[in-house]
Amino acid sequence: MEVSKDIQDSLQKCGIRRDVDVWQISLTRKKLTGVPDLSRFHFLRKLWLNNNKIRELSCRSLNCCLTELYLQNNNIKSISGALNHLTCLRLLFLHNNQIRGLDDTVHELRKMQQLQTATFFLNPISHEPGYRHHVIHYLPSIQVLDRKEVKSVERRRSFQMHSQDRHRVLQSVAFGRRVS
């Protein structure tokens, strides 16, 4: 497989002889249509797969300790069932793809307690009504969304919009007692 040869050549150029020494791999502009099997790299933390032709995402072969994943500028239509095992992810770039289904996308990322930076702009989901507030509410660890810092005002507004009952209860509590 050509990708395996590219990886091997790259490792040799860097003087890396053992798979356990690999912590980042760049496979940009390789005309990939899928995610290659990288399961042999147990300590892989950063992976660049941007600017390819990836349509379907199947990242089961990826290390669950991955912290940065660059998938921008591909043809990805959905991330459902592909990324939820990557619970250590801190940075996820998915802009300029064809991702649809805001609820499914956010549901896929909900286990990522450390996800701080994400990009979804230039995808159909970014045009859905209430998109930004939806993402902020369901991914509470997010600090930067679509290259814009998440402000505390946005967090409060997201909470009001998506947890209306809880918001009403909090508004009715005064001095540790509920007021009617």
pLDDT by residue for the chain (180 residues), tens only, comes to 577 787 887 788 778 888 888 999 999 999 999 998 898 899 999 999 999 999 988 777 788 899 999 999 999 999 999 999 999 999 999 999 999 999 999 999 999 999 999 999 999 999 999 999 999 999 999 999 999 999 999 999 998 876 645 544 545 555 565 555
Res 174: pLDDT:
52
Number of domains in the chain: 1
Q: What is the pLDDT of residue 167?
A: 43
Nearest-10 crossing angle of helices 152-162, 131-138? 90
- Enter the pTM of the model: 0.86
Q: What is the CATH number for 174?
A: 3.80.10.10
> Which domain covers residue 128, as residue numbers?
2-178
Gap between the Cα atoms of 41 and 22, Å rounded: 6
Q: Which of 64, 165, 71 lies closest to 123, judged by CA?
A: 71
